[in-house]
Amino acid sequence: MEKRELICIGCPMGCPLSVELDQGEVVSVRGNTCKRGEIYARKEVTNPTRIVTSTVVVEGGKLAAVSVKTREDIPKEKIFECMKALKGVKVQAPVHMGDVIVKNVADTGVDVIATKSVGSLS
């Protein structure tokens, strides 16, 4: 029986979670105060994913950069590749919130989108 200790990131309480696995299958989750903790623990030990947030350069805009994020969670092991794909990306103003900045980032099937709007200088 394998045991994994995690801290839940579902809310600021940060409950310490203890997960027992048997041949890769979750047998029990302890330490969670609410159901979200159990869902997080099960996912984290079997298929860990994250939303990735960053910024990219805006050319000709009222701001020099725009904040971006993956539209959905991507596999945790793809985070580095995703950040690498965003490095050096430049977009032309105007940028609208929800605009696709990078399609299918790191071959995850998930797009990176702008999370705010940046108007153009002229």
Owner of token pair 């027992």: 20
Nearer to ligand SF4, 4 or 89 (CB): 4
- 105: exposed, middle or buried (Cβ count in 10 Å: 0-12, 13-18, 19+): buried
Q: Which of residues 16-75 bind ligand SF4 (CB under 6 A)?
A: 32-34, 36-37
Q: Does 6 bind ligand SF4 (CB under 6 A)?
A: no
Beta carbon of residue 42, minimum distance to ligand SF4 (angstroms, whole number): 12
Residues binding ligand SF4: what is the number (CB under 6 A)?
11
Residues near ligand SF4 (CB under 6 A)? 8, 10-11, 13-15, 32-34, 36-37
